[in-house]
Amino acid sequence: MSKAAGPLKPAPEKTALIAVIKAPRDLEIAARDHWYRIPLKKAPKRYFTHIAFYQPACFKPCGKRIEYYAKVAGCSTGRREDLLPGEPAHPAARRLYLRYSLGPLLKLPAAVLNTSGSRIFFGYAPLKRLARAGDVLAVFNVFSLENIMCRALKAAGLEFLREHVILRAAKVKYRLDFAIFCKRGKLDIECDGRGWHSAPAQRARDGRRDKWLQRSGWITLRFGGHEVLCNLPGCLREIRTAIKNLGGIRPGRPFP
């Protein structure tokens, strides 16, 4: 195993690399042996002082959360076969990895949960923000567009269902962000994050989805992140106009 050239450069503030840890064994290694590995070809591009571990769904019953973090003490390079000698036949045995030496594994005051079901990638966050965040969206300083819209619809006194499921052949066909049932039709309100819904393939899927819903009596209103964050009153005016054109809200629907 060869030593990396020079120590880690100190960051201007305590910053955590959010690392997606693939298996409980890797978290056990971090706790017992105080090190963590990252493939050299995926080397972090920014400096950081700590590593925080996101536990995916395979960590049952404690998945989809960040619970533990550790201070980085140093870094070296080595091949996987040297880091994990018990796996000589592993396809990546000869690949180079960064081996980060860690201090003791520490537990956050409260687990940071992935309540939105967002897909988590490697990222960075100030350690102070990580310690007080209750949700992974807050860790990355991302606002939940759906939560903002939900609060606005409630404040406006509109009756709606959130995460309304459309079934076909006893299986989930579509899940609507918000559904409003009117006297002469049904309204589907979607909050589209810029990164995901701007992809060409996703735009095509959204188009097919909207046409299918239209044939089933739904009118879809889509609001992008900029609209929700910067012009929420305008979004509500458009929603109210659509409700009026559909004869008003049908009475008797459950309020969330």
pLDDT at 8: 53
pLDDT at 6: 47
pLDDT at 4: 47
Of 13, 93, 108, 96, the residue nearest 55 (C-alpha): 108
pLDDT at 199: 55
Q: Which CATH architecture has domain 145-245?
A: 3-Layer(aba) Sandwich (3.40)
Q: Which residues, other chains included, contact 143 with Cβ-Cβ below 8 Å and sequence gap of 6+? A: 137, 229
Handedness of CA 69, 74, 80, 86 (dihedral sign): negative
Phi, psi torsion values for 39, nearest 5 degrees? -55, 140
pLDDT at 230: 81
Of 178, 255, 246, 244, the residue nearest 217 (C-alpha): 246
pLDDT at 96: 97
Residues in the chain with pLDDT values less than 50: 1-6, 11, 194-198, 255-256
pLDDT at 28: 96
Amino acid at 72: V
Helix (H, G, I), strand (E, B) or coil at 45: coil
Terminal CA-CA length for the chain: 58
pLDDT at 12: 65
Specify the pairing of strand 65-79 against strand 106-113: antiparallel
CATH 2.30.130.30 intervals, the chain: 2-139
Other Cβ atoms less than 10 A from the Cβ of 10: the count is 9
Q: Domain 2-139: which CATH class?
A: mainly beta
Phi, psi torsion values for 144, nearest 5 degrees? -80, 110
CATH 3.40.960.10 intervals, the chain: 145-245
pLDDT at 192: 79
pLDDT at 252: 72
